[in-house]
Structure 1
């Protein structure tokens, strides 16, 4: 009897230890940030410069400052109206600028990148390049745009032309390049160098950018504790930062499997932050909780929000994925994925096109796309998961098995619901 009691105690202690190893977050770390007030979307500074803009205005400095403020409001609220207002102001600045025109081209191009209008952004970057001003900034923009368009050889050429290990802008781009190549250790090493540069410079915006991006990379590398600590660092700088809160919610959900707590965090974010994709994450968490009503409610909110024409093509990839995996609207998925390939011919876009053909029963076409546009060109787990399904269905068993082995280590990144899909490969 004593032996049985000892075994039970040891089992209990072992269970507690295993559970505690997967519980690295603490409500006390982040609760103080969840009650943040709505972001301010005006200021005396903004009103002063905005008042200088008239229908026939030529106050160039006003346009630049007001456009920058609108962009800042968009980032803090997620409200698409501010991104569109920034576009309007920057287009006017481009039209009237005689001096500093390259800078306005670049600013408008970045606005278009945020709107997923990548080809228009590329045209503006080309226009900026014809002006001999801010050359390195333009080359950095050319790298960014070509990465978004899947022109990786061109992007590498621009990156090489910028090489400067003492420059923050170069370090973050070479980090992104190595992430594209699948070299996560090198990605993190360069991003850590960029973080140190930002901290030495005492730049709040660069530090915030560094902390959130490094947190993402740490998560991909399975360094969850480091990821969590850097999201907290971001919140120390910006208590209202929705992206950092979303990152913590993902850790709580995907790593710790505490769906209810993750939902509490996300509910606090969506009170003030208005971006459609946050509701998709809430729907995924609700699915995991078995709360069908809450899941459906969040999907409905998402679909209602993206009906706003101001979003344009920003949520195409999300919509295609939903048509394929949630609503079984395969014709819609195929049509929209073709459009997205035209907008942005990257492995991600091609994976959606391939999977759309696959879901419609055209397995050979799906395989053809995978072999030509995806195989050996990406290391993104979500893309590889679609590819593995197509390989398996077309008899490419060894390739499917190889990907399955890789994906077993990417469950945190893909989310708890991916375990079943991976197991079926």
Structure 2
């Protein structure tokens, strides 16, 4: 009997050992040897070509300043420059060129209105983007292209019924642009599996077209979708596919950094990648990611330095309303700064009355201990109106604070499934809800 017990114990230990090894293998997804070549300072031919093109078209414009179409070309090049280096001044200069062009032709070209709207979407100026798209629609040229962008803007403004109407107007299952918007619609409605299915159809189209820009867009975006679905290996693979096409794609590198941090808890590897991105594409939210990582490590000093860097970059550049969400969340959780958070949340609601904006307001109320007002906001604007994990997390805490959280209205299991997306800093809080 004793020998049988010993054998059973050895068998159980062996099984535990095998299981532990498999678990570690499943946890470890990123491999430095696969992406380290993208962390070296190397020639960015795309950037150099854009700069050459700018010089070329600027000279042509200087020689013939009556040719307004040159301004459109230059504007597009400066917008591309912003996407590569993150310098906000390039985006503003792109806007200036378009407005100059629009004034010259007295606002009579739909295509220019669409270009201005695209620029304003990048700046999070969605109401102004809508105004230009409505002008484009009235002018009539390429209404399908205008409707596609109208869908995008209505989604950003929380006009979901209008967005649905626009989606119906552009319905075409053979159109890449339609499919990626259909995927966004399904994701908004909480049907992530369907969204991925549609994105995979769009990906086949992009691959068949052999258009590198389409492939870049679909690979980087489907990597995000896979991550949200818990398919971390697939997410990583498609970030690598993105980098294979564009060695300097900082968005894909940031995605790999997130996998290293959130999935693997490899903070050293994540910081190494972020430090490289900083040297190439400086945007404020990189410092927020650093702050999250240092917070997870328990390094309060390094976290504060990262936050100070975030606010320094904001103060040195005028980003308009682009970082309102981040600022509202930060100030809401910072003693003495809640008045700023409240002001920003109210501004965001004015700019775009979406569940995401109302969530900011509710979160401010929660953090100042005004649980009743927090509940009033979520009951009208966010409960069962968004599938965003952070909003669901805030809803749970606010319901709990009002003694209204129960088995029927709790989404704790859904949140536990979303820890990768939310980040490891919230894991303990979610478990204890």
TM-score of the pair, normalised by structure 2: 0.93
Give yes or no for the alignment of 1:355 onto 2:363: yes
Paired residues for 1:104-115 under 5 Å: 104-115=112-123
SS at match of 1:267: helix
Cα offset, 1:225, TM superposition:
0.8
Q: Deviations over 1:138-185 (max 9, x none)?
A: 001111111000000001001100000000110010110001000001
Q: Root-mean-square deviation (CA), in Å?
A: 2.1
Q: Is the 8 A contact 1:58 1:96 kept in 2?
A: no
Q: 1:100 to 1:170 in 2, by over 3 A?
A: farther
Give yes or no for the alignment of 1:33 onto 2:38: yes
State the partner residue of 1:287. 295
State the partner residue of 1:226. 234
Paired residues for 1:237-386 under 5 Å: 237-308=245-316, 310-326=318-334, 329-386=337-394
Cα offset, 1:58, TM superposition:
2.8
Q: Is the 8 A contact 1:351 1:370 kept in 2?
A: yes
Matches of 1:57 and 1:6, distance apart in 2 = 82
Q: 1:360 to 1:334 in 2, by over 3 A?
A: same
2:144 pairs with 130, 136, 149, which one?
A: 136
TM-score of the pair, normalised by structure 1: 0.95
1:75 pairs with 83, 87, 98, which one?
A: 83
State the partner residue of 2:159. 151
Give yes or no for the alignment of 1:97 onto 2:102: no
Structure 1, unaligned runs of 5 or more = none
State the partner residue of 2:94. 86
Cα offset, 1:17, TM superposition:
2.5
Give yes or no for the alignment of 1:23 onto 2:66: no
Q: Give aligned pairs, total.
A: 425
Q: Is the 8 A contact 2:108 2:139 kept in 1?
A: no
Q: Deviations over 1:177-219 (max 9, x none)?
A: 0010000011001111111111111111111110011000001
Q: 1:329 to 1:208 in 2, by over 3 A?
A: same
Cα offset, 1:91, TM superposition:
0.9
Q: Deviations over 1:111-149 (max 9, x none)?
A: 001101111111011111111211111001111111000
Deviates more, 1:58-67 or 1:187-196: 58-67
Cα offset, 1:359, TM superposition:
1.8
Q: 1:360 to 1:290 in 2, by over 3 A?
A: closer
Matches of 1:375 and 1:7, distance apart in 2 = 46
Deviates more, 1:361-370 or 1:95-104: 95-104
Cα offset, 1:55, TM superposition:
11
Deviates more, 1:27-36 or 1:396-405: 396-405
Q: Is the 8 A contact 1:63 1:93 kept in 2?
A: yes
Deviates more, 1:390-399 or 1:122-131: 390-399
Deviates more, 1:312-321 or 1:401-410: 401-410
Deviates more, 1:328-337 or 1:244-253: 328-337
Q: Is the 8 A contact 1:266 1:278 kept in 2?
A: yes
Q: 1:358 to 1:46 in 2, by over 3 A?
A: same
